[in-house]
Amino acid sequence: MMGESKLAGRIDVHAHYLPPNYRETAIAALKGVPDGILRMPDWEPKPTVAMMDRQGIATAMLSVSSPGVYFGNDKEVRSLARAVNEFAARTAQDHRGRFGTLASLPLPNIDAALEEISYALDVLKTDGFVMLTNVGGTYLGDARFDPVFDELNRRNAIVFVHPTSPPCWEHIALGFPRPMIEFPFDSTRAITNLVMSGTLERNPNVRIIVPHAGGTLPFLARRITGVFSLMSPAGAHEPRGGFISALHRLFYDTAGSSGDNSISSLLTLVDSSHILYGSDYPFMPEAAVAAAIGELNSTHLLSGDDRRAMERGNAVRLFALS
């Protein structure tokens, strides 16, 4: 597990890395750049640390972004997940205190995922895990993933949920890059599924980080609650205390959501103790990272203490940094 950096700067819970050959593997498997983006960015540890120094980021929790490690082959997903996780662990070791790691799981291969949880925690000493909102169209609250969440619960794990393209993107994306509209909605879909499936209530020790200020959850939470109470959809589970109460125990990052419109909406759902700083670097270039930090620094919605907690203190407590 990562020790706390001696620098008293931000802790970035939404920071990505691209291991050697990962870009080429993803593009070849998907026959093009994933998620409709123009290009996958470059990433190297030393330039990233230099960027972090310029932007006051002490530590970045590294995770593989969408499209993740599954490209349709259950055998290959095992080896790719192991390779990216070991690369992240070596990188964190080489830059002690500057990087933490959120390990990828070789889903939908359940046995391999259970094995990787053990290896990542016991051997690589990872700080948590990253899970995409859906894996080949199967969302995280699906019963097929119950053994994985049971083990994550047993291990008191932190799970950072990252959006990916929904299975029907060809029909609904309107030709736009999926991060523009579909990602926030897929985060909303995945978290609603985790709550309404009963997965989160059955696994109270799993700490969930929701990206991009909750996607559209802050806006839709009351609507979801109201429609659920009126229609009681078959197979859905209403958590104790209700849907909104379940959302209160989750954590939310600020990546791509640093404006007052996003922060004010999020603060209707949770208080500042559940907000974490996120940059989305390198998919967000340094200029965008700097602009977002400027917005967070200038907002009147967070007090100075709230902002310092969002930037660092909340993550220190969540990850039990010492």
User: Taking the domains of the chain in order of start, what are their residue ranges?
Assistant: 10-318
Q: What rounded mean pLDDT belongs to the chain?
A: 95
What is the per-residue DSSP string for 69-132? T-SS-HHHHHHHHHHHHHHHHHHHHHTTTTEEEEEE--TT-HHHHHHHHHHHHHTS--SEEEEE
Q: What is the predicted pLDDT for the residue at 129?
A: 98
The answer to whether the beta carbons of residues 104 and 10 sit under 8 Å apart is no
What φ, ψ does residue 260 adopt, rounded to 5°? -60, -30
Q: Is the pLDDT of residue 232 over 90?
A: no
Tokens describing residue 127: 């700080």
* pLDDT > 70? residue 7: no
Kindly report which listed range (27-31, 79-83, 141-145, 211-215) carries the lowest average pLDDT score: 27-31
What confidence score (pLDDT) does residue 28 get?
A: 93
User: d(Cα 32, Cα 177) in Å, to the nearest integer?
Assistant: 13
Torsion of CA 208, 81, 193, 197, to 10 degrees: -90
Q: What is the reported pLDDT for 217?
A: 97
**Residue 272 pLDDT > 60:** yes
Q: Is the pLDDT of residue 50 over 60?
A: yes
What's the rounded mean pLDDT across residues 265-290?
A: 97
Q: Does the pLDDT value for residue 116 go beyond 60?
A: yes
β-sheet bridge partners, residue 209: 160, 251
Q: Tell me what pLDDT residue 27 has.
A: 93
pLDDT category at 6 given cuts 50, 70, 90 is low
Q: What is the pLDDT confidence band of residue 4, given thresholds at 50, 70 and 90? A: low
Give yes or no for a contact between 106 and 116, defined as CB atoms under 8 angstroms apart: yes
What is the structure's pLDDT at 269? 96
* H helix and E strand count, the chain: 14, 10
**Residues 6+ away with beta carbon under 8 Å from 66:** 34, 35, 132, 162, 163, 164, 165, 183
Per the CATH hierarchy, to which homologous superfamily does domain 10-318 belong?
Metal-dependent hydrolases (3.20.20.140)
Burial class of residue 90 in the structure, from the number of CB atoms within 10 Å of its CB (0-12 exposed, 13-18 middle, 19+ buried): middle
- The phi-psi region of residue 243 (left if phi > 0; otherwise alpha if psi is between -120 and 50; otherwise beta) is alpha
**Residue 109 pLDDT more than 80?**
yes
Instruction: Please state, for a pLDDT cut of 70, what percent of the chain lies above it.
Output: 97
The pLDDT value recorded for residue 86 is 98
pTM for this model (two decimals)? 0.95
Beta strand pairing status for 207-210 and 158-162?
A: parallel
Q: What is the pLDDT of residue 2?
A: 61
Per-residue pLDDT, averaged over 199-223, amounts to: 97
Read off the pLDDT band of 75 (50, 70, 90): confident
> Residue 33 corresponds to which tokens in the numbers above?
């750049």
**Per-residue pLDDT at 236:** 77
User: Which of 103-107, 150-154, 225-229 has the least mean pLDDT?
Assistant: 225-229
pLDDT band of residue 148 (cuts 50, 70, 90) is very high
* Dist. CA 180–CA 163, nearest whole Å: 11
